[in-house]
Amino acid sequence: MSGATSAMGLRGRNYARQYWPFLVPAGVIVFAVIVFPWIFTLYMSVMDWHVGGAITFHGLGNYKRLFTDERFLWSAVRTLYFTALAVIFPMLLGIAAAVCFHRKFPLRGLARTLFILPMMATPVAVALVWTMMFHPQLGVLNYLLSVVGLPMSSWVYAPNTVIPTLVMVETWQWTPLVMLIVLGGLASLPVDPYEAARIDGASGWDSFVHITLPLVWPHIMVALVIRTIDALKSLDIIFVISGGGPGTSSETMNYLLYLEAFSFYDMGYASAIVVVFFVIILLISLLLFGARRQAY
């Protein structure tokens, strides 16, 4: 028996070594469009590199500039503000939606498909429709507010409402992804604990808090990590709906990165932003995955 297993293991290992040719074509492409850009970015971030200008070594100058550049620091604050809101609302709604879609009801498949349309639709196209809905005089949203007797909002046209408004669009767009991940967790739950709880007289809420939540917690953490990172790097809707404005009041780090690279053509500084961005994303992923491990 033990001889047989070791022979199997040996065979498995031998074959494992022969699978590398399958990885070569993809490896070449991944190196060219993913790994090479990382290395090149690191190199550029220590250079003074303006498109069309001379390229000189700049040491840590770009990084030093980051920590004194008020425009960058404010963009970091705004990114955190946007991310906090754009994580909390989709998470709460997404978990609620997953619980709803886990229950059987007529037309559930159709309802679920309609619910995920916002995340599949072309972001630019839906962002354009939202822009028209936010129009201060002719927009349908202000009309609806006035119908229910609420004061009109200036939506994306005022510095203090622009980020919450963008969060609303982001929530509309990405709640479905949270729902899908949590729903996947719910689908894999065992039935027994629920029956036991029901026999013991637990209410629906009790069994949700004490059985469902702990069991789907790993899936909720995965959704949390993915949502946090996606919120940090959200760009399309900000680009189209507010363009970082009014003024700079919705200019997030990712948007500033776009401006530095492709409006000001300051590639060295933009690369330093990319590196810092990368470190932040890595730290948050590690932090959240650490929290996930503790939850087990």
Interactions with another protein, residue window 222-281 (CB under 8 A): 222-223, 226, 229-230, 232-233, 235-236, 239-240, 254, 257-258, 261-262, 267, 270-271, 274, 277-278, 281
* Nearest to another protein of 34, 160 (CB atom): 34
Instruction: Rule CB under 8 A: say whether 133 interacts with another protein.
Output: yes
Q: What tokens were used for 141?
A: 């949203």
* Nearest to another protein of 90, 160 (CB atom): 90
81-45-267 Cα angle (round to 5): 80
Entry field: residues in the chain: 296
**5 Cβ contact partners less than 8 Å away, ≥ 6 residues apart:** none
Contact 273, 253 (CB under 8 A): yes
Q: How far is the CB of 83 from another protein (least distance, A)?
A: 13
Q: What tokens were used for 37?
A: 């850009």
Short-list 225, 107, 108, 223, CA closest to 175: 223
Instruction: Rule CB under 8 A: say whether 191 interacts with another protein.
Output: no
Q: How far is the CB of 180 from another protein (least distance, A)?
A: 5
Chain positions 192 to 221 lying near another protein, rule: CB under 8 A, are none
* Residue 27 host element (H or E): helix 20-30
Please pick, from the candidates 7, 10, 51, 196, the single residue that binds another protein as defined by CB under 8 A.
51
Short-list 95, 81, 99, 93, CA closest to 171: 93
Give the range of 67-75, 117-125, 156-164, 210-218 binding another protein by CB under 8 A: 117-125
Q: How far is the CB of 250 from another protein (least distance, A)?
A: 16
**Residue 248: what are its φ and ψ, rounded to 5°?**
-120, 20
Instruction: Rule CB under 8 A: say whether 289 interacts with another protein.
Output: no
Question: Strand 47-49 relative to strand 55-57: parallel, antiparallel, unpaired?
Answer: antiparallel
* Nearest to another protein of 23, 158 (CB atom): 23
Instruction: Rule CB under 8 A: say whether 95 interacts with another protein.
Output: no
* Nearest to another protein of 114, 287 (CB atom): 114
Instruction: Rule CB under 8 A: say whether 15 interacts with another protein.
Output: yes
Residue keyed to tokens 């992923």: 285
Q: Is 235 helix (H, G, I), strand (E, B) or coil?
A: coil
* Nearest to another protein of 32, 160 (CB atom): 32
